[in-house]
Amino acid sequence: MTAPGGDPIAELSPRQLEVLELLTKGLTNEDVAGVLHVSPATIRTHVAAVLARLGASNRTEAAAMFVAWGARPARITALLRRPAIAVLPLVALDADPRAGVVAGSIGHDLSHLFARWCWFPVISHAGVARPRSIDAGPSDLGQRLGASFLVDGTLSRSTTWRLTVRIDAAATGHCLWTGRYDFPDEQLFAIQDAVCEAIVAAAYPTLIAHAEAVVRRVPHPRDLQAWELAHQGMRLHAAREAASNTRAQALFVAALEREPDLTLAHFGLGLTHYDDVLNQWGAREDACGRLRACAERCLILAPHGSEGHYLFGRFFQAHGDHALAARSLESAIRHNPSFAAAHALLAQTLQLSGRSEEALARMKHATQLSPGSFVAGLATLHFARGEYDESLALVEGALASTPRYPYALALAAAAAYWSGDLPRAGDHARALRSVAPGFTPTSFASSFGARVGPVERIAAALTAIAAAR
């Protein structure tokens, strides 16, 4: 029996924990037996022991307990110790601009498909863009990214598409698997499934028994043009500029006109509405209402996905409700432990709630999953901890690539002010007024919690800088 106050899941044997993890993924006793190479009768014995140990009345209840347990920082840390896989940006061999867009979008989708298994960390697609441009072999790239397996490939088009994909073991540089696929537009999504299954088989043989069923639980987009429009919108959103954000919204709306149930478009639209709130690019209440609508739509369309939970985290953060934001983001991570952006946002939320050490652990998870990303988020964390010099150095690094990002300019001005560098603070404040003349400290404080220390310090710094002009 478990001692009072103990952790019953942590006290399961390694084999019992393995069985419970497989059950949580929806496998039957027969499926689990096939993966672990034992008899179904043995699995039934393990399942009975697990239910008794947890005090659970059925498999569903036990699975829910495991999912909640698996989202704890210590468990995420353990997950991130497993061999990671990185999908490098696919190379378009044609000069046709559409080939480049489709190649980038396929690479992005493959990363998300792998992450659904949640058995191993998946380096985010954004985190591999810069290392991919470096002329380096698999070993060097693997070391830079913290990945054991590298997925690479090319895309070309004549009368049909030709996709060539390979997977390398980073440590040895050996090619574990390669495949070539010729297909018309309408077969694109089925081909992505086939590539994922083959790569998982090469890297993790124990997953292949259930790989096909897991991938196909989520319905594919039906309209290729809607899918392309949504991916174009995601790329524009990443620029962190008002004009790009507006164009991204138009693309997401166009995608939804073609396919109203496209989760990616609802998710991207929600992100742009949050940025309207964060950067004061639009009417706050209208943007918050649209953000909530996108979050609700994502939960309806993808109840087992992480997108809706993440958007609700953004929504609650925009209302200064850090407790509800943390719960929503923890739910997003439970559904997808490789969701780097959710780890980063949760880190900021926890810091604002006074949970500094846990916040730091979450931010480390985010930066491990997406090297080089979340620089502004990490700068926010340092600012909240009163480490203004570190915050300023980081946020100025972020501004080097996104110089018209209002929130980053506001944070840079505040960090410089509190570190005592008033001329630098004035420079960043002037740049903020130039890009976002309507950005006010009062609106920022009211949006994110006027009684929250770091928010108050940013607002107070911007007010003081404006008064000193």
Residues 203-220 pLDDT 10s: 555 333 333 444 445 567
Ranges of H-type helices in 37-96: 40-54, 59-70, 73-79
What the block records as the tokens of 15 is: 């084999």
- Write out pLDDT tens, residues 212-267: 444 445 567 788 899 999 999 999 999 889 999 999 999 999 999 999 999 999 99
Residue 185 to residues 76, 192, 256, 444, Cα–Cα distance (Å):
38, 12, 19, 45
Instruction: Note the pLDDT tens digit of each residue in 130-139.
Output: 555 555 677 8
Q: Report yes or no: 412 and 396 within 8 Å, Cβ to Cβ.
A: yes
- Enumerate the β-bridge partners of residue 179: 165
Query: Residue 224 contacts by C-beta under 8 Å, 6 or more apart in sequence?
Result: 185, 186, 188
Share of the chain above pLDDT 70, in %: 88
The segment with the largest mean pLDDT, out of 11-15, 27-31, 77-81, 182-186, is 182-186
DSSP state of 164: E
Per-residue pLDDT of 353-382, as tens digits, reads 888 888 988 998 998 898 778 888 889 888
Q: Are 292 and 309 in contact (CB under 8 A)?
A: no
pTM of the model: 0.70
CA–CA separation, 417 vs 95, rounded Å? Answer: 48
Whole-angstrom Cα Rg for the chain: 23
Rounded to whole angstroms, the Cα distance separating 91 from 88 reads 9
Average of per-residue pLDDT values in the chain:
84
Which two tokens mark 256? Answer: 């939804």
Which domains are delineated in the chain? 14-70 (1.10.10.10), 85-215 (3.40.50.10070), 374-469 (1.25.40.10)
CB neighbour class for 280 (10 Å; exposed up to 12, middle 13-18, buried from 19): buried
CB atoms inside a 10 Å sphere around CB 5: 5
Q: Is the pLDDT of residue 313 over 90?
A: yes
Identity of the amino acid at 463? T
Nearest CA-CA partner of 50 in 66, 28, 37: 66
Per-residue pLDDT at 165: 87
